[in-house]
Structure 1
């Protein structure tokens, strides 16, 4: 198990940047640190068929290196603006859960900074509970959440979700994956992340474009869709790590393993990374990569 003492003693080299900023640890950052520290020391399921293979040896090494790097560098947008950080901690538990769901719905194909601003605008206008949002028109919701990606479609989803939650769930959110995925605009990734964040129940891995991209670049999986990636990762990753891997790889993808222009020279696992060694002499096809990311993001939106 990783300890704070070990964290301090890590010798991880990282390039200094001119835009590096320091910040005081918030309650959210402390909670994230605890999540990493208390997770399992083993990253492979005991029932995994690959448990004794060379693949698993390399996977464990890469996984733990990225995990240690993220523990020492909690400066990604997801660390301060992820769905777990945006709900009102003083609000009623039902309201908090709804706010987490809304944050996840708005986050699809949207940068964390934009999602955070939209959530703040909803809070400032007393529109972030089921009853409050249900009183708004779609146009009013659009105005409050703009410019999140596909804000018009998401306003329609939110209006429908509020009606369903009032009629079927006593203004709370569903407490299982199936129920969450039955809501307009909620796909597998959102459902699993909502279960772990809002209900503190880890039912599966939330796989977004970052998790899907990095897992494929490193050769952990060879999949076409985030849902295929989820199933493959769950087949060999220790269940105690399911709640860690999303946050870990999202932050790593935002700061190092970016979809366009990844910082491979600064990457802690570039020595074994399949993507780096097969592409280090090639230019990144920006338009193609961007289109692929958009297509993968859209797969988590469900009518």
Structure 2
């Protein structure tokens, strides 16, 4: 078995059970002429910020499909090195953008552009590609429908589980499909239906709540056949109808499966950091869903996808819930929650001139790398 190594005035946003963003159960399908027109003019299936052309996406070949998803949901940290300008901070609402958002977020993006974190290597968005590579399945041989399914399964495995363990569980299922069921594509819907639930429990034992998740996966496989034409749903209502799938998983599945940016993925890191920086009301936003709702009232849609990956990686390595590294944080002079005692031991806040920045980054990376290595050894 392989292994995979400042306060502002705001309006309280109540959270309802129903997702108000959902316009209808499924997005309206375009007729053949519309699809042909989109292809002829090379409009990549994008109808608006909040919907996509499902028929067009389903017709894409593997390489075209992955290029489309990449164009909508880029996960390359190198792209975050360029600062966001005030002119780019355009939203469709009248809700005020927090004054400390750009100063903090730009520096967090800069830090994220210079170091890879666990979510970059083994996060949900990387699992289908990572596992396929491990098993020698080239991307041009990966059916987009199977990729969408594999991504959904990865998100279901990820709940309250470290990325490394989630990746291992996905690899275990893939190997079983390859070696025992003789399915060359790895995880497929047919394969999941054939795997006995007790066998699935053993394959994913490395993740938390593995018995419950195995049951969720088996039930989901049958629901996809019965209700969704053997593919993953393409609206939030459909995704949330699957057992064990919450809003964070649901919106992420839509993003990476269909390129549909219909909502912000808010996990524990995003929830914690947004409250800490007062980007959302720290008192009224008691849950991640509260935070998502308020964040979406003012955050420009262009940042709805990236903010999750940016903040998750930052929360994993630099601003952890316990043991924050304010001494290493390049935003320690603008952060409202900084630890002044830690900052006094930092060599970074004293170096402000541009000619010193390369030296700062070099020392920062060396120190951070040493810290990551020590943390990994401690886990083992």
Specify the alignment match of 2:193 in structure 1. Answer: 134
Shift of 1:57: 2.6
Mapping for residues 205-224 of structure 1, pairs under 5 Å: 205-221=264-280, 222=282, 223-224=285-286
Deviation string 1:67-101 (CA, Å, 9 cap, x unpaired) is: 1211122x101111112211143321111000000
Which whole-Å deviations, capped at 9, do the CAs of 1:261-299 have from their partners, x for residues lacking one? 121221222233333359979xxxxxxxxxxxxxxxxxx
- In structure 2, the partner of 1:272 is 334
Answer yes or no: is 1:158 the counterpart of 2:209.
no
The change in CA–CA distance for 1:43 and 1:244 in structure 2 (over 3 A counts) is farther
Q: Deviations over 1:122-173 (max 9, x none)?
A: 1111162111011112211111111101111101100100110111222210
Aligned to 1:100: 151
TM-score, structure 1 length as denominator?
0.76
Counterpart of 2:252? 193
Q: How does 1:62-81 map to 2 (within 5 A)?
A: 62-73=104-115, 75-81=116-122
Partners in 2 of 1:35 and 1:199 — Cα distance? 22
Contact 1:43 1:241 in 2 (8 A): no
Could you tell me which residue of structure 1 aligns to residue 168 of structure 2? 117
Does the 8 Å contact 1:205/1:234 carry over to 2? yes
Deviation at 1:59, TM superposition (A): 1.1
Q: Which runs of 5+ in 2 are unaligned?
A: 1-66, 133-138, 178-185, 344-380
In structure 2, C-alpha distance between the alignment counterparts of 1:103 and 1:46, rounded to whole Å: 33
Separation in 2, partners of 1:96, 1:34: 25
Matched, 1:47 2:93: yes
Corresponding residue number in structure 1 for 2:56: none
Residue of structure 1 equivalent to 2:126: 85
Aligned positions, number: 250
Report 1:142-291 matches (<5 A). Answer: 142-221=201-280, 222=282, 223-277=285-339
How far is 1:48 from its partner?
A: 3.5
Q: Do the aligned residues in 2 keep the contact of 1:44 with 1:60 (CA within 8 Å)?
A: no
- CA deviations 1:166-209 (Å, max 9, x no partner) are 11222210011110001000000001111111111100100000
Of structures 1 and 2, the larger Rg is shown by 2
1:99-127 CA-to-partner distances (Å, cap 9, x unmatched) read 00011111111000111111111111116
Instruction: Verify the 8 A CA contact 2:236 2:251 in the aligned structure 1.
Output: yes
2:103 and 2:334 in contact (8 A); partners too: no
Alpha-carbon shift at residue 65 of structure 1 (Å): 1.1
The more displaced of 269-278 and 122-131 is 269-278
Partner secondary structure for residue 305 of structure 2: helix
Structure 1: unaligned runs, 5 residues or longer: 1-26, 282-303
More helix by share: 1
What residue in structure 1 maps to residue 358 of structure 2?
Answer: none
Correspondence for 1:60: 102
Instruction: Please report the RMSD computed on the Cα atoms of aligned residues, expressed in angstroms.
Output: 2.6
Structure 1 CA distance for aligned equivalents of residues 271 and 89 of structure 2:
18
Q: TM-score, normalised by structure 2?
A: 0.61
Residues 214 and 138 of structure 1: CA distance in aligned 2, closer, same or farther (over 3 Å)? same
CA contact (8 A) 1:40 1:238 kept: no
How far apart, CA to CA, are the structure 2 residues paired with 1:44 and 1:216?
A: 22
